[in-house]
Chain A
Amino acid sequence: MVMSESVVRPTVATPTLTAGEESAPVGGADVFTVRDLNVYYGDLRAVADVNLDVRERQITAFIGPSGCGKSTVLRCFNRMNDLIDIARVEGTVLYHDIDLYDAQVDPVAVRRRIGMVFQKPNPFPKSIYENVAYGPKVAGQKGNLDEVVERSLRSAGLWEEVKDRLDSSALGMSGGQQQRLCIARAIAVNPDVLLMDEPCSALDPIATGRIEELMKEIQNEYTIVIVTHNMQQAARVSDRTAFFTAELDESTGQRRGKLVELDDTGTIFANPADERTEAYVTGRFG
């Protein structure tokens, strides 16, 4: 193996999303700064006037009842809403200090830095190895990817279980293993941020526990934003928690998602500022 070709994880990710020479300051406290975010699906205003910050190398949890827009906000962070024809985003989503919705920003470059893990495990119908190697390959990494694959699978706590069957199909794994594979696949491209959209909702409690442990293990390296329906999960893993709710817009009669508050997780669960948050976290509503 040629040593000079081995891939070393940079200690600090340098965001260079635009084609130009524009470069961003690095290591700021806020990874995402959201200002006056409104997301529309056609005529429906799904998310209204959201302002929040996501801090670097922390786990931020989004909680709230169904239809409160938390997944929609999450999907603004890596421009996944672009894939929905009728979705329209207004307002500012700053990543470090680059506006992700600037015309010069390439969503493909965004997604290489801001990885995503989905609600249902969605491994590709390929081998375990090919699943992990997929991201590095489309990012243009040539040559032997064994090392990247091994390191990613180790980070996802999956290496010992699968090292002897890297060439077998990923579809033959259990649901929990598949989801950890999806995490390995996401971190193989060396992202700055991991977005997790209800990553445990299709998993049993034991597999859920493993994913939560894994999140704790990797949180020193990645900024993680997790959407969850499970309040205990938010309480267990996150540093800060944002509570969203759906409220009726009286002028249109439609329900739209709003951010109620974002604070340290301990505060949100013990002493929230807003009574709606308190009602939700104590189980009186939602």
Chain B
Amino acid sequence: MTAPSPSTRTRTVDLDALRARRGADVPGQLFFGLLVLAVVVAFAMVGSVFWSVVDGASDIVTERFWDFLSSPSSSDPGKAGVAQGIRGSLLIALIVMMTFPIGVAAAIYLEEYAEDTWAARLIQVTVRNLAGVPSIVYGLLGLAVFVQALRGITGGSTVISGGITIAILVLPVVVITSGEAVRAVPGSLREGAYGLGATKWEVIRTQIFPAALPGILTGTVLAVGRALGEAAPLLVIGAVAFYTTGNNDFLEQMQGAFTALPMNIANFAKEPAESWRGHAATASLVLLILVFVVNLGAIVARARISKKLGN
């Protein structure tokens, strides 16, 4: 078979010219192989992490999982549990979620109200930079401001200080993702509402916010996930391994010593004795389940809202 030279105009169809050629697109196939490899590696990494957690946790899960969930930490590996850590992490998540309206409001302000001035742009850039600041730096901020300067309000190294510090840590993420969700609302929707005589507030309340809500929820899920997993700022603020005071009184809980699941994990992992082997893994499993439950809740909420909006 000889290919016709470019200068020759031929009207007969050469079937061989149209036939699929093997090895014609070598770079494309190499790239595809690379992509498959990347997917396999990514899954293998996640899988091995998950497997090591489940494998390490298996003994405690089968022997005394409920006891592990409901007991405070202890120097006795047979009794130690993560009840205080779960309580602390849930309280921190609660405080973080209470600050979400601030983040969403800031995002709506920046997207819809702020004029395009150098000040507004500076704020936008600053928010983006804050999202990249290492969490331990926020811990120092929390130590200086909430633990020390505002001790009268927060009570010092309490779950309030920890919660607010982590809330500030994740707030930029909330502002950025919410802002992107607001920006993604199609302009035609705004025009349609303005064209019917809606005020700016009505356009935001009835069109922009509902349309952006699924995206905003995605951002808040990311934020809660991050908030639940942070250990470094809590270390700086002075979260403890476990505490013995303050049991059931809510106020006492809020104002006393506190810990969180990541603190439990770190402390368990530091124990050298064989009898502590499974504790860090089991606590990690609990943390993973907690994050999963929060994500699931947000995904369900998102699906419901999307359905309601008719998308």
Using CB atoms and an 8 Å cutoff, list the residues of chain A in contact with chain B: 78, 80, 83, 85, 108-109, 111-112, 115-116, 118, 120, 122-127, 134-135, 138-139, 168-172, 182, 185-186, 189
Contact = CB atoms under 8 A, between A and B. Distances in A.
Contact of A126 (B186, B188, B197, B309): B309
Contacts of A108: 197-199
B14 interface: no
Nearest to A139: B197
Contacts of A115: 195-196
B113 to A, nearest CB: 12
Given A108-B199, A170-B310, A124 B192 contact: yes
Contacts of B198: 108, 134, 138
Contacts of A78: 195
B116 A111 contact: no
Given A85-B116, A108-B199, A189-B197, A80 B310 contact: no
Most B CB within 10 A of own CB, among A138, A172, A182, A186: A138
Contacts of A116: 191, 195
Contacts of B207: 124
B167 to A, nearest CB: 32
A122 B191 contact: yes
Interface in B228-284: none
B214 to A, nearest CB: 11
A49 B194 CA distance: 27
Contacts of B115: 85
Given A120-B188, A134-B206, A111 B310 contact: no
Contacts of A123: 192
Interface string B162-195: 0000000000000000000000001011111111
Given A83-B191, A118-B191, A125 B197 contact: no
Nearest to A83: B194
A111 B199 CA distance: 10
Q: Which 4 A-B pairs have the closest CB atoms?
A: A169-B310, A112-B197, A122-B188, A116-B195
A215 to B, nearest CB: 17
Contacts of A122: 186, 188-189, 191-192
A9 B190 CA distance: 27
A135 B197 contact: yes
B59 interface: no
Among B115, B197, B199, the most chain A Cβ lie within 10 Å of the Cβ of B197
Nearest to A135: B196
Contact of B191 (A80, A168, A170, A189): A80
A125 B310 contact: yes
B311 interface: yes
29 contacts: A78-B195, A83-B194, A108-B197, A108-B199, A111-B195, A116-B195, A118-B188, A118-B192, A118-B195, A122-B186, A124-B192, A124-B193, A125-B189, A125-B211, A125-B309, A125-B310, A125-B311, A126-B310, A127-B310, A134-B196, A134-B198, A134-B206, A138-B197, A138-B206, A171-B310, A171-B311, A172-B310, A189-B196, A189-B197
A168 B307 CA distance: 11
Given A83-B190, A108-B198, A185-B192, 15 more contacts: A78-B195, A85-B116, A108-B199, A111-B195, A112-B196, A118-B188, A118-B191, A118-B192, A124-B192, A124-B207, A134-B193, A134-B206, A138-B199, A168-B310, A189-B197
A83 B188 CA distance: 12
A170 B311 CA distance: 10
Interface in B72-120: 115-116
Interface string B115-132: 110000000000000000
B202 interface: yes
Contacts of A168: 310
A202 B210 CA distance: 26
A172 to B, nearest CB: 7
Nearest to B188: A122
Nearest to B186: A122
A135 B193 CA distance: 8
A59 to B, nearest CB: 19
Nearest to A131: B192
Residue with the greatest number of chain A CB neighbours at <10 A, chosen from B191, B199, B202:
B191
A183 to B, nearest CB: 12
A85 to B, nearest CB: 7
Contacts of B310: 125-127, 168-172
A122 B310 CA distance: 14
Interface string B48-74: 000000000000000000000000000
A123 B211 CA distance: 13
Nearest to B116: A85
Interface in B295-311: 309-311
A110 to B, nearest CB: 8
B306 to A, nearest CB: 9
A138 B202 CA distance: 7
Contacts of A189: 196-197
Most B-side CB within 10 Å, residue of A78, A120, A135: A135
A244 B309 CA distance: 40
Contact of B197 (A85, A111, A127): A111
A193 B177 CA distance: 40
A168 B207 CA distance: 18
Contacts of A169: 310
Given A83-B190, A118-B191, A169-B310, A185 B196 contact: yes
